[in-house]
Amino acid sequence: MSLTSFSRGPTVLQLGILALFVIGIGGAVQLAGPDETDRLGEASDTAGEILAAAEAWQSENTDRGCPTLSRLMSDNQLAEDARVEDPWGQRFSIQCEDADIMVRSAGRDGRNRTSDDVRAGSNLSS
């Protein structure tokens, strides 16, 4: 092989392989993106449903503190088969401070109080 063969640049075959590689990577990123967006939306919707149930329960039980997911189910504020886990398999938590209720999911990383947490409620600062 002479030195001149190196200066001609990539072959059509090499460019084709590179194009397929780039398209494959782009497709993989695109497939991962919408799925995660769907999960975040699902977690947000479920947290909102649990929050509504907790607020309804608390308005009827002002002297009984903060409800648990089990209490909401046993008191018929949530259906027995209601979703109480986020899309990543962790149970939602309910936290109350005075009249404020917050429903929280640990999010994708499974750890509470990190940037990917999903929260619903009136006290979203904590």
Residue 37 placed within a domain? yes
Q: Give the number of other Cβ atoms within 10 Å of residue 102's Cβ.
A: 21
Residue 3 placed within a domain? no
Residue 2 placed within a domain? no
- For residue 116, the enclosing domain spans 12-121
Q: How far is CA 92 from CA 1, 4, 24, 88, 98, in A?
A: 66, 66, 36, 11, 20
Count of domains in the chain?
A: 1
Where would I find the beta strands (DSSP E) of the chain? 93-97, 100-105, 118-121
The CATH number covering residue 81 comes to: 3.30.700.10
Lowest mean pLDDT among 36-40, 45-49, 120-124: 120-124
Residue 81 placed within a domain? yes
Does this model's pTM top 0.85? My answer is: no
Q: Does the structure show a pLDDT above 60 at 6?
A: no
Q: Each residue of 72-108: pLDDT tens digit?
A: 999 999 998 999 999 999 999 999 988 799 999 999 9
